[in-house]
Amino acid sequence: MKKLQKTKSSLVKIILASALALTMLAALCACGPAKTPDDTNTTPAPQESAKFTADDIYLQIGEIKLTAGGRASDFVDMLKAAGIEYTDKEEAESCLFDGQDITYVYDFGRVFTFPEEGSGGSENLVDEIYATGAEVTAKGGLKVGDTAEKVKETLGDGFFMDGESMMVYNASGDINLKNEQPMLYFYLENGTVTGIGVVANLYHIAA
C-alpha cells in the first residue's frame, strides 16, 4: 500500500513538473523579441485608379497651357509671344452671331472661334482647339501616336465613345451632356490617337 501511494505521489510530481515546463515555454514564446519593421507585412495599399476632372481639360505646348473658352485675341497673342504664329486664317459669316467665325491654322493644328455675343463682331471666343502635331500634349504627356489603352490608363475609364472614333472625357462622363459640357477628346484610328482636341461648348453654354 505504501508502495502504491509512493508511485502515485511520484506520478503527481511528474505531471506538475510537465505543466510547469509548458507554462514557462508559453511565457517565453509570448515574450519573444519584438518584430522589426522589416518583419511586418509591408504590402502597399492598392492605388486609386485615375479619375478625370474638369481641370484636366487642356492641351499643352511646352510650358504653354492651351484652353478653350477665352478670347481669341488673347490666345493668338499668347502663342505669338512664344514664337508660334498661325499660318492661315479662314473666315466665314457666323450662323449664330454678328461677325465672322474664324479658324486659325497653326502647324500643330487648328483653333476654331466664333463671335462673342454682344460684341458686334469685334471680338471672337475660342470654342475648340484641335491638334494633330506630336508637340501638343494632354494630361500625363498624352500625345498623337499613343494608344487608346494608354489614354485610359492615364485618365481613367470615365470616358464615353462618340461614334467609333472619338474617345471623349467630360466632367460628368455622361454622353448625354456631350454638347453642353467642356470636354477633352481623342480622335482614334485603329486604336491609335491621331488627333487631340478640347472643346468649350460655348455655343450651347451661351444658348
Q: CA 75, CA 70: separation in Å to the nearest integer?
A: 7
| Cα 73 from chain centroid (whole Å) | 30
Distances (CA, A) of 180 to 41, 90, 158, 185, 202: 49, 26, 17, 14, 8
Q: CA 108, CA 135: separation in Å to the nearest integer?
A: 7
- Judge whether residue 138 has pLDDT over 80: yes
State the average pLDDT for the chain.
82
- Going 137 to 141 to 147 to 150, the CA torsion angle's sign is negative
pTM over 0.85: no
What is residue 28's predicted lDDT score, i.e. its pLDDT?
A: 40
Which architecture, in CATH terms, is 54-206?
A: Sandwich (2.60)
- Judge whether residue 92 has pLDDT over 50: yes
Q: Which residues lie across from 200 on neighbouring strands? A: none
Q: Report the relative pairing of strands 160-162 and 100-106 from DSSP bridges.
A: unpaired
| 17-26, 64-73, 132-141, 169-178: least confidently modelled range | 17-26
User: What confidence category does residue 166 fall into, taking pLDDT thresholds of 50, 70 and 90?
Assistant: very high
Q: CA 73, CA 141: separation in Å to the nearest integer?
A: 27
| 39-43, 73-77, 143-147: least confidently modelled range | 39-43
- Judge whether residue 16 has pLDDT over 70: no
